[in-house]
Homo-oligomer: A and B are copies of this chain.
Amino acid sequence: MENVNLKTIADKLHLSTATVSKALRDSHEISNETKQRVLHLASVLNYVPNPYASSLRKRVSKTIAIVIPEVDDSFFAEAINGIEAIVQGKGYHVLIYLTHESFEKEKAIFMDFQSGRVDGVLLSVSAETVSTHHISNLQSHQIPIVVFDRICDEISTAKVCTDDYNAGYTATKHLIDNGYRKIAYLSISKTLSISGKRMKGYSQALTDNNIPVKEAYIVECTLNDEYNNAVIRNLLQSKSRPDAIIASVERLTTNIYLVCQHLQLKIPKDIAVISFSNLKTAAILNPSLTTITQPAYEMGKTAASLLFKSIEKKSFPLDTVVQLFPSVLIPRDSTIKK
């Protein structure tokens, strides 16, 4: 099949490409009759404009990027759905990039964006991200960026997130209220802001309840299941075994449950478990899992909407926007002794 372009149509109709172009974009300069003829032929010939020619000329790509650590996570999956709902309506396209928690990858991706490949970026930073030059650097190229969930306080742009300090505090308080005092916290990064804030909430809740914060109870996990299992096993076999665990990310849940099974520790009798999680299966786990759940879909929608506000009106001041969403603690059996 031939590739049909403006010239094809122009030639057949004895018009110029300029006229055809304008007709297709419904310009007022063009007579109705011409518009009809052009539109008709275009549809007959199945004309689809070349987006790259248009991008090159207009310096606009009609494309945004989503840069996230991973997809195999309910929060990000749901957030993508929210983003997509907005993007869809705008007729934009979505490039997706997974950093797998690598700062190097994140930097390389952002470097590439200087090319004008995308009109805006939705970012959730990697666990390894320790500086924000790549971000501000891109901003200096007038590419709007909205960070969501895993934000960086340092960068000056719109932030869509939950109140992680409070969430950490609430989770810890919930455990304390249910009779647990030896509470461990599984982090995924020392540097990640959300992890840090959740942890601060955790420490503060302990302190407020006269429970000393124990270094040994703060454990850093990774992307590696083997490693995480080992770390969790160690924790649960240590002589001062905790009686509760807070998992700062969804994916640690399975590790914890399996290690407990393996060690024949009963949840919540021997050990309580609460997880930051959007897992649909939380309610049907054995036992059902108490979660801190974020409004992922709404956060995705909001992040995308903000980004488009800036794309559509570049004077829109992203840097002043902080959209804080409430996350909710959903108490289930994993933290409540019968």
Q: A interface vs B, CB < 8 Å?
A: 1, 3, 46, 48-53, 55-56, 61, 63, 66, 70-74, 77-78, 80-81, 84, 93-98, 111-112, 114-117, 140-141, 251, 253-254, 257-258, 261, 279-281, 283-288
- Give the copy number: 2
Contact of A285 among B96, B140, B285 (CB under 8 A): B285
Main SS at interface, chain A: mixed
Cα separation A115 to B251 with both chains bound (whole Å): 39
Known A-B contacts A94-B96, A140-B1, A286-B286; the reply to A116 vs B80 at CB < 8 A is: no
Could you say which residues of chain B place their CB within 8 Å of the CB of A73? 77
A81 close to B98 (CB less than 8 A)? yes
Closest to A84 in B: B98
Contact of A96 among B1, B48, B96, B288 (CB under 8 A): B96
B74 close to A81 (CB less than 8 A)? no
Cα separation A1 to B133 with both chains bound (whole Å): 14
Other than the known A52-B116, A93-B95, A94-B95, what 18 A-B pairs have Cβ atoms closer than 8 Å? A46-B114, A50-B116, A52-B52, A52-B55, A52-B117, A53-B56, A71-B71, A71-B80, A72-B77, A73-B77, A84-B98, A94-B97, A95-B95, A254-B280, A254-B284, A257-B283, A281-B281, A285-B285
Between A and B, 28 residue pairs with Cβ closer than 8 Å are A1-B141, A3-B116, A3-B141, A48-B112, A48-B115, A50-B115, A50-B116, A51-B117, A52-B56, A71-B71, A71-B81, A72-B74, A72-B78, A80-B96, A80-B98, A93-B95, A94-B96, A94-B97, A95-B96, A96-B96, A254-B281, A254-B284, A257-B283, A258-B283, A258-B284, A279-B281, A281-B285, A286-B288
